Amino acid sequence: MAAIPRATALRFASNARELGAEALRGVLEQNEDGRWVVGHIEVESWLSRYAGQEVILAVAAIDQETPMAYTRTCRTCGNEYEGRVCPHCEAVRRRLRGG
């Protein structure tokens, strides 16, 4: 599996949470007992809450070498942008307000 850019992985996790799913973020490690943990959360016990249910399990390895671009996805128009406000929506606001 190829690693994906950090911004893409964070957007993926954010989208999962917005849809009502759960997402873990952190370094996947095996503790001294041989159990898999992400951050401080034990993966096996975290997954046990979903026993008996059909699930989709997705894993995205984050590329550590790609610099993290501070991009956002506008919740109004869906465009990606950098900075504090979406330039597309800001232009539309100005045009509609006559400014």
Asked if 57 and 73 sit in the same domain, the reply is: no
Asked if 31 and 43 sit in the same domain, the reply is: yes
Asked if 36 and 21 sit in the same domain, the reply is: yes
Asked if 75 and 60 sit in the same domain, the reply is: no
Q: Would you give per-residue pLDDT tens digits along the chain (99 residues)?
A: 778 887 788 888 888 888 888 888 888 999 999 999 998 889 999 999 999 999 888 888 887 765 555 678 888 888 888 777 888 988 898 889 875
HEC letters along the chain = CCCECHHHHHHHHHHHHHCCCCCCCCCEEECCCCCEEECCEEHHHHHHCCCCCCCCCCCCCECCCCCCCCEEECCCCCCEEECCCCHHHHHHHHHHHCC
Per-residue pLDDT, 68? 53
The structure's pTM equals 0.54
Per-residue pLDDT, 66? 56
Per-residue pLDDT, 54? 93
Asked if 22 and 50 sit in the same domain, the reply is: yes
How many separate domains does the chain show?
A: 2
Using an 8 Å Cβ cutoff, are 36 and 42 in contact?
A: yes
Alpha-carbon distance 63 to 8, whole Å? 10
Enclosing domain of residue 97: 69-99
Asked if 83 and 61 sit in the same domain, the reply is: no
Asked if 12 and 39 sit in the same domain, the reply is: yes
Asked if 44 and 32 sit in the same domain, the reply is: yes
